[in-house]
Amino acid sequence: MTKGKPMSPIDLLQINVNEHTEKKNGLTYLSWAWAWAKVLIADPKAIYEVQFFQSQDGKPQCYMDVNGTAMVWVTVTMFGKPIACQLPVMDYRNKPIPKPDAFAVNTAIMRCLTKAIALHGLGLYIYAGEDMPEEVGNQEESGKLPGVTPEATEKVEQIVKKAIKTVVEGGDLEDANATLFGEAIIEYLKLNETEADLKSYWKKNQEKLDSLKVTHPTLYGQVKSRFTAAKEKLKSKETT
């Protein structure tokens, strides 16, 4: 970032967060306290909100009950743009916890906070399965995404516009985010060249896909169908 110039999402994408992460059961977690400190430096007006839901007894609770398990939602607003993220309350095996206690819910909320921050750019490469952030350079000015073909970039931009339109026309922000994620997954499935790469890509996004399965089963079914078709196509290609 140039000295004196306001920080942007492009600057956040290029920050190396590796020294502030820890690995647990094959997943990488970013320190929420460090991440939020960076957010406030980037945008002092930034805020985050935990969504509350009505419990069965009519009292507010900071998670949604999903068949006896829990899902938390956090929205982070930076640079005037709100982005919501959802996360199941999970145990050490990354499996949903039936009737979670307060500690587990709080842990899920803070992890959801860091993921919502990542959607604004900070530490996003972790969730993409990368070891280091991309060297974005002047990509913001050129309008291109690093390492992606112009055709793929255009397709992703169309998906983003569709999600924004959903919200503008009175749709639900969470539905728009789910649609954005699901359709982006479908597009990027096409970029994998081997069956191993395809499986690795699915595994890297497993947590979000599990969440999608619970909240948007129809969209998840479409993603799963495309994944199966892509896997069979690559398997056939590799055996011929």
The lowest-confidence range among 15-19, 71-75, 222-226 is: 222-226
User: Which pLDDT belongs to residue 213?
Assistant: 80
User: Which pLDDT belongs to residue 164?
Assistant: 44
- Does the 9-127 domain belong in CATH 3.30.390? yes
* Sign of the torsion formed by the C-alpha atoms of 153, 156, 160 and 161: positive
Tokens representing 18 are: 């590796």
Helix count (H) and strand count (E) of the chain?
Answer: 10, 8
pTM of model > 0.75 = no
pLDDT at 147 over 50: no
Q: What whole-number distance in Å separates Cα of residue 101 and Cα of residue 110?
A: 15
Domain boundaries in the chain?
9-127, 148-239
User: Which pLDDT belongs to residue 8?
Assistant: 80
Which helix H or strand E contains 53, and what residues bound it? Answer: strand 53-54
Quote the radius of gyration of the chain (alpha carbons, Å).
18
Q: What whole-number distance in Å separates Cα of residue 176 and Cα of residue 8?
A: 23
